[in-house]
């Protein structure tokens, strides 16, 4: 899952921060944060583990695997954010806009906990409203290009975005088969975390 899905699958403000921090910190540093943020880090990891093992995600990876092989999962993560952003059963358009604003507000309120590289990204994320605009094809193209640019062993001209467009119906079905299961799993993990508090 990518940024929007992780931010949606949270239950407290601290968990929002932890969900974003997970990809930017070393494992040994996780215990230096308040418990609520640690819970977000734990939740992020549980979401990733569940996602990687789900049959629908295995199917979705087949769209990108012929082009990018082991990097297929990263492109599926981006693609899933498109379907989350367009899932009006989860939130209305106004609801998604409000969600995006809340996430930026919460992250800025916890600025002291954010590493410098994340602070730089947050500025761009908020300025261009990445979370809300994942619903648009052009922003998925931008995100997929970013993944290509960061990948050391991938040619920068691989047509992953074209694969996304060509197989959008397949990916939509994978999302439909997968996301309700993920949502229930996240709720279960959160319930366990709350028992620990």
pLDDT digits (tens, 9 = 90+) for 44-65: 999 999 999 999 999 999 999 9
User: pLDDT band for position 196 (50/70/90)?
Assistant: confident
State in Å, rounded, how far the first CA of the chain is from the last one: 26
User: pLDDT band for position 153 (50/70/90)?
Assistant: confident
Q: What is the mean pLDDT of residues 111-130?
A: 93
Q: Count how many Cα atoms sit within 13 Å of the Cα of residue 5 in the half-sphere of its side chain.
A: 25
Locate 158 and state its tokens: 């691989």
- Any residues with CB less than 8 A from the CB of 33 and at least 6 apart, and which? 17, 18, 21, 41, 113
Q: Angle, nearest 10°, between helix axes 13-21 and 93-109?
A: 80
The C-alpha atoms of residue 102 and residue 93 are separated, in whole angstroms, by 14
Determine contact, residues 97/90, Cβ cutoff 8 Å: no
pLDDT for the residue numbered 28: 81
Domain that holds residue 115: 3-196
Between the CA atoms of 33, 77, 55 and 11, what dihedral angle is there, to the nearest 10 degrees? 40
Written as one string, the DSSP assignment of 76-105 is: HHHHHHHHHHT-TTT--HHHHHHHHHHHHH
Q: Is residue 1 scored above 80 in pLDDT?
A: no
Q: Taking the CB of residue 26, how many other CB atoms lie within 10 A of it?
A: 7
Average pLDDT, the chain: 94
Q: What is the mean pLDDT of residues 80-108?
A: 97
pLDDT digits (tens, 9 = 90+) for 31-44: 889 999 999 999 99
Q: Is residue 112 scored above 80 in pLDDT?
A: yes
What is the total count of domains within the chain? 1
pLDDT for the residue numbered 142: 93
CA nearest 76: which of 156, 178, 153, 8?
178
User: pLDDT band for position 26 (50/70/90)?
Assistant: confident
pLDDT for the residue numbered 24: 87
User: pLDDT band for position 197 (50/70/90)?
Assistant: low
Determine contact, residues 194/43, Cβ cutoff 8 Å: no
The C-alpha atoms of residue 51 and residue 182 are separated, in whole angstroms, by 7
The C-alpha atoms of residue 165 and residue 54 are separated, in whole angstroms, by 22
Q: Is residue 147 scored above 70 in pLDDT?
A: yes
pTM value?
Answer: 0.93
């Amino acid at each position: 899952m990518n940024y929007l899905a992780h931010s949606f699958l949270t239950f407290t403000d601290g968990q929002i921060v932890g969900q974003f921090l997970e990809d930017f910190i070393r494992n040994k540093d996780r215990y230096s944060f308040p418990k609520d943020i640690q819970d977000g880090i734990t939740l992020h990891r549980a979401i990733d583990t569940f996602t990687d093992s789900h049959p629908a995600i295995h199917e979705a990876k087949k769209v990108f695997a012929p082009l990018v092989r082991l990097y297929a999962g990263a492109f599926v993560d981006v693609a899933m954010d498109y379907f989350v952003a367009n899932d009006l059963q989860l939130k209305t358009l106004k609801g998604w806009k409000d969600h995006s604003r809340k996430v930026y507000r919460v992250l800025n309120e916890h600025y002291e906990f954010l590493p410098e590289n994340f602070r730089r990204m947050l500025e761009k994320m908020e300025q261009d409203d990445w979370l809300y605009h994942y619903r648009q094809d052009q922003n998925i193209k931008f995100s997929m290009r970013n993944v290509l640019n960061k990948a050391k062993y991938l040619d920068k001209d691989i047509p992953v975005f074209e694969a996304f467009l060509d197989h959008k119906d397949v990916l939509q079905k994978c999302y439909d088969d997968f996301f309700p299961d993920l949502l229930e799993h996240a709720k279960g993990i959160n319930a366990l975390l709350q028992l620990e508090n």
